[in-house]
Amino acid sequence: MTATGSRFVRDTGFVRDASLAAQAFFGLPYDTTGRSALVQNKHRKVDSAELRFASDFKGPVQMLVGAFMQNEDRYYRSSWPKADTTGNIPANAALLLDRAVNTQIRERAIFGELSYKILPDLTFTAGARWFDFKLEQQSVAFVAAGGGAGAGAGPVLKTKDQGVIGRFNLAYKVSSHTNAYVQVAQGYRSGGTNDQTAAALANVVVPDGYGSDQLWSYEFGLKNTLLDRKLYLNGAVYYIDWSNIQVSQQATNGTVSFGYTGNGGKASVTGFEAEIDARPLPGLRLTGSLNYSNAKLDRDNPVAATGRKGDHIPYVPTWSGATGISYSAPVGASGLMGTIGADATYQGPMDTKFNSTIDNWQHLNGYWLIGLRAGISKDAWAVNLNATNLSNNQTVINFNEIVPGVYPLGYYVSRPRTITLSGSVKF
C-alpha cells in the first residue's frame, strides 16, 4: 500500500508597457495620456493525493487498485494603471481596466488493473480509470475598459467531464534478453472555459468554453538487455488516433485579434522512439534517445481556415533527441565518489500555427542545448555543480501575440547559460 500527497503553490507577477494598446482601444495618445502599463498577478495552488495497492500474489493473477484526487485554485488579477508625467506608475494611479478571474478545478479518479499470466512468458493486463472533472470560473470587472465603473461579478462558467478510459497490454518474454509488448490505451484532456471579459475588451465574441479531446494510442515495442546487462536497447512504434483536438483560434474585430481555445477536427500521430543505455566500463555510462513524430490533421477543422487536412500539428517537432555521458569513480582513499558528465538535447523545427496562411503563423527553428555537471558525494551527502545551456543558445522557442494588430510579436528564448551549485543530505 502506498500513499502520496503534495502541495504546489506559485505566485507570479508580470508588468509590461501598454501605451500602444491604450491608443488603439481608447484613442489615448501613446506618448501622453495613453502612457500606461499592464500589471498581471497570478496565484496557483494545487493539492493532490493518491492511494494505491499493488499485489504480490503467488499465483498467476496480480492487481493494482487506487484512488486519486486533485484540487486546484487559481486567481488572476489584471489591472491597467496610467503612468504619470515621469513615466512611473503612482500608487493611486487611474485605471483603464481592472478585473479578476477565479477558477476552481476538482478532479477525482478511481483506477485499477488486473494482470494474468496466461503462459510462463505471456502476460495480459487490462486496466480502467474512472474520472470526474469539474471546472468553475467567474470573472469580476472592478473597472470597465476605458476607466468606467465595472459590471461586477459575471456569470459562473462551468464545464465537466466524466467517463471511463481503458488500457490493454500483452507482454511476451521472447528470451532472457528480450521482451516484446503490444499496448492499446485511451486518453483524454479535459475541456475548459474562455475568458469573456478579456474578449469583450477586444470587442469580439468567443465561445464560453471548449470540449475535451480524446485519443486512442496503439504501440508495439521491444526491450533488450544485452552483454551481461551492459547494454540496454529499447524501441517502439506507435499510432495515435486523436479526435476533437483542442486548438488555439483567433477572433477579430477587423483591427485587433483575440486568442481563445476551441475544438478542431481529427488528427493522427505516427512515430517511433529508440533508446540506448550503455555501460561499457565500470563507472562509465552512455545514453541516447531519438524520437520521430508525424502529427497531422486527418480532416479540416470545423472552421477550415484555421487548419486543413494534411496540416502538421503546431508545436510538435518531427525530430527530437538527447544524448549524454557520465563517469563516476572513487576519489583516492578519501571515501568520496566523484562524478562528471555532459548532455545534449535537440528540439527539431516546428510551426506555431497549422499553416502559413493563418495570421501570425511563425516558424520555430530547431536547436541544441548542452549541459555539463560535476559532483562529489559521500554516504548521505552530495555537492553538485551544474551548467545548463553552456553555449548560451538564444534560438527563439516561442512567440507571444501580445495584442495582435497592435504590438509586434514578443519573443521567448531558452533560459540563458545558468551555473548552479547545490548540496543535499539524505535522512
Q: Quick: pLDDT tens for 119-162.
A: 999 999 999 999 999 999 998 989 988 888 888 898 898 889 99
Summarised one tens digit per residue, pLDDT across range 38-54 is 999 999 999 999 999 99
Q: Count CB atoms within 10 A of the CB of residue 368.
A: 14
Confidence of residue 234 (pLDDT cuts 50, 70, 90): very high
Summarised one tens digit per residue, pLDDT across range 12-22 is 999 989 998 89
Domain covering 174-427 assigned CATH 3.40.50.150 in the classification: no
User: Strand, helix or coil at 261?
Assistant: strand
High-pLDDT (> 70) share of the chain, %:
98
Structural contact between residues 394 and 421, judged by C-beta atoms closer than 8 angstroms: no
Q: Residue 72's pLDDT is what? A: 97
Distances (CA, A) of 151 to 74, 270, 283, 302: 21, 49, 66, 33
Q: Residue 170's pLDDT is what? A: 97
Structural contact between residues 24 and 41, judged by C-beta atoms closer than 8 angstroms: no
Q: Give me the mean pLDDT over the 418-426 stretch.
A: 94
- Where does residue 310 fall: left (phi above 0), alpha (psi -120 to 50 degrees), or beta otherwise? left
Is the model's pLDDT at 264 over the cut of 70?
yes
Confidence of residue 210 (pLDDT cuts 50, 70, 90): confident
Set of cell numbers at residue 53: 495497492
Q: Residue 248's pLDDT is what? A: 78
Summarised one tens digit per residue, pLDDT across range 293-316 is 999 999 988 888 888 999 999 999
Half-sphere exposure for 115 (CA within 13 Å, toward CB):
21
Q: What is the mean pLDDT of the chain?
A: 92
Q: Give me the mean pLDDT over the 227-245 stretch.
A: 95
User: Strand, helix or coil at 92?
Assistant: coil
Q: Which residue has the cell 475588451?
A: 201
Set of cell numbers at residue 248: 488555439
- The Cα–Cα gap between 16 and 135 comes to 30
Among 245-259, 277-291, 398-412, which range has the highest average pLDDT? Answer: 277-291
Q: Residue 355's pLDDT is what? A: 92
Structural contact between residues 413 and 421, judged by C-beta atoms closer than 8 angstroms: no
Pairing of strands 257-263, 246-252: antiparallel
Domain ranges of the chain: 1-111+132-162, 174-427
User: Based on C-alpha coordinates, what's the Rg of the chain?
Assistant: 26
Q: Residue 196's pLDDT is what? A: 72
Q: What is the DSSP secondary-structure string of 226-243?
A: ETTTTEEEEEEEEEEEEE
Closest CA to 371 of 315, 419, 320: 419
Confidence of residue 251 (pLDDT cuts 50, 70, 90): confident
Distances (CA, A) of 426 to 13, 377, 381: 34, 11, 6
